[in-house]
Amino acid sequence: MKDLLRIIKLISGLAFLVLLLFSCRTTKFVPQDEYLLNKVKVDVDTKQVDKQDLKNYLRQTPNTSILGFWKFHLALYNLSSRKKSDGWLKRIGEAPVIYDSFLTKRSDQELKRYMHNKGYYDAVVTDTVYRKKKKAEVVYRITANQPYTIDRYKVDVLDDSLRTIVHKDSSLSTIHEDENLDMDKLASERLRMVRTLKDQGYYRMNRNSISYEADTTLGKRQSAVTMLVGEREFQDSLGNVEYQPHQKFTFRNFYFLTEYEPRKALFGEHLNLDMVPQDTLKVDNYYFIYKNSLRFRPDLLMNANHIGDAGYYKVSEVERTYNELSLLRLFKVINIQFEETGKRDSLGNPMLDCVIQLTPSSKQSYSFALEGTNSSGNLGVAGNLNYQHRNLFKGGEILDVQLRGATERQSYGVKDSVKFFNTLETGIDTKLTLPKFLAPFRSTRLFQYSTPKTLFNLAYNYQRRPDYTRTIARASFGYQWKSSEYSTHRINLLDFNLVKMFSYDPKFIASIENLYIRSSYTDHSISSLNYIYTYNTQRLQKRTNYKYLRASFETAGNTLYAYSKLANRPQELTDSLAGGQYKFLGTPFAQYFRTDLEYRRGWVLDKYNTVVIRGFGGIAVPYGNSKQVPFERKYFTGGANDIRAWPVRSLGPGSYKADPNAFPNQTGDVKLEGNIEYRYKMIGMLEGALFLDVGNIWSLNDNRPGTEFRLGQFYKELAVGTGTGFRFDFSYVIFRLDVGMKLRDPSLPQGSRWIVGSRPLTSDDFNVTFAIGYPF
């Protein structure tokens, strides 16, 4: 009841603030005889043009809204005093946008220019302004008319040295006949062609080397377009214009400035490549320039450099080198420059010197994080101490060590009988990352975008809970690499876990008669192979639309099971319900298959509003040596990052209703979940959110009623929760508070699972969570 009262007070306070802000006159600061630009609309009579693109060309737009209609930041501004020209409400709010007829005409011109670029040369743009009660609404109407199209398209190569490359590339052209005469598309094709040629050694190639000719006199609004790939034009010492064919560039030397100082470079410090400093190490045609001592082994930097792999200049290899150096996580500044030497190689090709400027990051770093949780009155606190050493053995090795400690109060047995913190978790996790592919074979052809990193991991975790005490030891070995800018792969060839159980609660264990539950409280080991693919276009420190896809696959116990069968090893009875099992290191090993898929999509609507959706589906199937998937490989839901109206591990499986006095520990073999969250910026670092969560977990072979996944019934057992939250964005970390409310509870009898409208809400229908970072 106390939690419910606190929630009611919070909601009441927010409602009062909303009413206060709505009560403010939106035209309070609009001058006499002026109008607030309240709304802008763009209508176009063709579906071939994107309305959202058109809005980007408007020179004046209304004040930004949140929740789709509420001009919150304008309301904040209107709460300020007329007497103060620079009050804090004016600084955090948004001044009213005053309708400007000049900017409206500018918008007409920009919209017409956009339509012209898209081939609609005869487009007509008109605007209509509606004024009422000091507010103005502008409607732009665009009549596209018939566009000009491309009747014929060809490429004319004026430079014979480029002819073969350009003709081979013709099948990849993005320009096609019968399409609109789109200037933006033509410009994009020119840049693509420039990149194609720069990727074949033509270092001096640029957009000025390629031009277009368009003949629009063919009639019927058709045009003949010719791309001209020309010779290089330059002026000699007397100012005379001359033409020369483009030439491929090769490389003479590579210079690594391993302690580059950008500030000194701003004040004119420049590397004279003919006067190499004293502190220099030369390996073949590589020069390593440093102060006092070289921090990095030469082979580390040489292996990361792919610029000379093709023998000539190649822009894609420049990008790959920059990417490889960035992935080392050793440098905070990376610059790659080229200088023409005036020399030629044995074949007469002009040569470049490549200068790679590197500013090292701090070698060692420490961080500490503290977080708190509150799930249905169960308070908890956790802390992490992190240590990182970059370049451990001067070969770019990165050592990460994390120490974790957590404690929480959990009701167990008689509800609310526990008044102290009765759960404890401590552990250490160490990771060593080697910037090389540690394998008995070469990988040059397998990994074209980046060299894989070799990963080692050792971890130990101790958990003491009301119903058991256990330890988990883990060791893994695998690789991680990127196959493109957005695609990351990770494979663990060995992922070994050993779980040992101690100090069972005798009464609790005696009450367990179900293998599904008992599997959570047995000694076992897991020896698995797993693979994870991630596609992520999200950019840190930049708000843009993004896509995120994560697919994982894991299988365990197959090798051990095959060995046990071939060696005719005996099965041992470890549990009357589990039956006979093969053992490894004296412990039954798990055998199962698990796969899951997660998809996220984020849309940045404007500078204040963002919408994010998420979908998740997964299944884990035991077989062979296991009748149940290990507890730590099962799925759970509820809590800060799943269905937030339920505390963590307190929902499901299916329509199962757990004992309210029991420790929340619900897990399942199948999980389906969908989320949508609308985020809006409010004041300074404060951000609000509204969310809707749907999903549940199910088991595959559990004899408890209502827990098993049934294809024709699972949708009837979906839980639905909604809520609101606040995020405090401190740039380096985001603190989050979410208040979730149950809308549909699958554990209730059919016909009464929808809560709102069927009965009064109680404190058990709300869940408050604190967390760090966004939920997804």
Q: Average pLDDT for residues 423-449, to the nearest whole number?
A: 84
| Backbone angles phi and psi of 425, in degrees to 5 | -140, 130
**Nearest Cα residue to 529 out of 570, 500, 558, 562:** 558
Q: What whole-number distance in Å separates Cα of residue 595 and Cα of residue 553?
A: 4
Query: Residue 576 has what pLDDT?
Result: 56
117 & 192 share domain = no
On whether residue 526 sits in a domain, the answer given is no
Q: At residue 415, does pLDDT exceed 50?
A: no
- Position 397 confidence tier, pLDDT thresholds 50, 70, 90: very high
Identify which has the larger pLDDT, 41 or 585.
41
What is the separation of C-alpha 73 from the centre of its chain, rounded to a whole number of angstroms?
28
* pLDDT digit string, tens, across residues 351-360: 999 999 999 9
Q: At residue 300, does pLDDT exceed 50?
A: yes
Q: Average pLDDT for residues 502-527, to the nearest whole number?
A: 70
Query: Residue 512 has what pLDDT?
Result: 58
Q: At residue 6, does pLDDT exceed 70?
A: no
Contact 156, 229 (CB under 8 A): yes
Which range marks the domain in which residue 115 is found? 26-143
Of 367-381, 411-425, 475-489, highest mean pLDDT: 475-489
On whether residue 137 sits in a domain, the answer given is yes
On whether residue 122 sits in a domain, the answer given is yes
Q: For residue 698, with 0-12 CB atoms within 10 Å meaning exposed, 13-18 middle and 19 or more buried, which class applies?
A: buried
32 & 139 share domain = yes
* pLDDT digit string, tens, across residues 192-232: 999 999 999 999 999 888 999 999 888 889 999 999 998 66
Number of domains within the chain: 3
Per the listing, tokens 């009062």 go with: 16
The whole-model pTM stands at 0.84
What's the CA angle centered on 98, arms 96 and 101, to 5 degrees? 160
Q: What whole-number distance in Å separates Cα of residue 116 and Cα of residue 147?
A: 9
* pLDDT digit string, tens, across residues 735-759: 899 999 999 999 999 888 999 888 8
Query: Residue 256 has what pLDDT?
Result: 95
Question: Which residues, 6 or more positions from 499, have their beta carbon under 8 angstroms from its beta carbon?
Answer: 470, 471, 472, 523, 524, 525, 526, 630, 631, 632
- Position 5 confidence tier, pLDDT thresholds 50, 70, 90: very low
On whether residue 431 sits in a domain, the answer given is no
214 & 255 share domain = no
Q: Average pLDDT for residues 404-415, to the nearest whole number?
A: 69
Q: Average pLDDT for residues 16-22, to the nearest whole number?
A: 51
223 & 261 share domain = no
On whether residue 270 sits in a domain, the answer given is yes
Contact 402, 417 (CB under 8 A): no
67 & 103 share domain = yes
Q: Average pLDDT for residues 295-308, to the nearest whole number?
A: 93
On whether residue 738 sits in a domain, the answer given is no
| Backbone angles phi and psi of 712, in degrees to 5 | -90, 0
228 & 192 share domain = yes
- Position 159 confidence tier, pLDDT thresholds 50, 70, 90: confident
| Backbone angles phi and psi of 349, in degrees to 5 | -80, 140
Q: For all residues of the chain together, what is the average pLDDT?
A: 87
Q: Average pLDDT for residues 553-563, to the nearest whole number?
A: 95
Long-range contact list for 761-766, CB < 8 A, 24+ apart? 761/4, 762/4, 763/1, 763/2, 763/3, 763/4, 763/7, 764/376, 765/645, 765/741, 766/3, 766/4, 766/7, 766/645, 766/739, 766/740, 766/741, 766/742
* pLDDT digit string, tens, across residues 591-640: 999 999 999 999 998 888 999 999 999 999 999 999 889 988 999 999 88
Please state at what angle helix 101-117 crosses helix 183-198, rounded to 10 degrees.
60
101 & 168 share domain = no
**Nearest Cα residue to 301 out of 287, 315, 318, 319:** 287
Query: Residue 456 has what pLDDT?
Result: 97
Helices (H) and strands (E) in the chain, counts: 13, 33
**Nearest Cα residue to 7 out of 770, 772, 769, 768:** 768
Query: Residue 458 has what pLDDT?
Result: 97
Cis peptide leading into 360, omega within 30 of 0?
Answer: no
**Nearest Cα residue to 65 out of 91, 35, 94:** 94
**Domain final position from 91, 125, 143:** 143
Contact 354, 254 (CB under 8 A): yes
**Domain final position from 228, 244, 260:** 244
164 & 273 share domain = no
On whether residue 702 sits in a domain, the answer given is no
Q: Average pLDDT for residues 275-290, to the nearest whole number?
A: 81
**Nearest Cα residue to 434 out of 451, 459, 458:** 451
Residue 189, CA atoms < 13 Å, CB-side half-sphere: 25
Over pLDDT 70: what percentage of the chain?
Answer: 86
Question: Which residues, 6 or more positions from 448, have their beta carbon under 8 angstroms from its beta carbon?
Answer: 483
Calculated CA dihedral for residues 240, 241, 244, 248, nearest 10 degrees: 100
Q: At residue 101, does pLDDT exceed 60?
A: yes
Of 27-31, 240-244, 334-338, highest mean pLDDT: 334-338
Query: Residue 173 has what pLDDT?
Result: 93
307 & 352 share domain = yes
The CATH number linked to 159 is 3.10.20.310
Q: At residue 496, does pLDDT exceed 90?
A: yes
237 & 256 share domain = no
**Domain final position from 188, 218, 244:** 244
- Position 414 confidence tier, pLDDT thresholds 50, 70, 90: very low
- Position 153 confidence tier, pLDDT thresholds 50, 70, 90: very high
Q: Is the dihedral of CA 195, 199, 203, 209 positive or negative?
A: negative
187 & 213 share domain = yes
236 & 163 share domain = yes
Contact 485, 468 (CB under 8 A): no
Contact 666, 657 (CB under 8 A): no
What is the separation of C-alpha 210 from the centre of its chain, rounded to a whole number of angstroms?
37
Q: Which contiguous run of DSSP H or E holds residue 526? A: strand 524-536
* pLDDT digit string, tens, across residues 641-666: 999 999 988 898 999 988 776 666 78
For residue 243, give Cα distances in angstroms to 161, 230, 233, 385, 721.
13, 9, 5, 64, 70
On whether residue 703 sits in a domain, the answer given is no
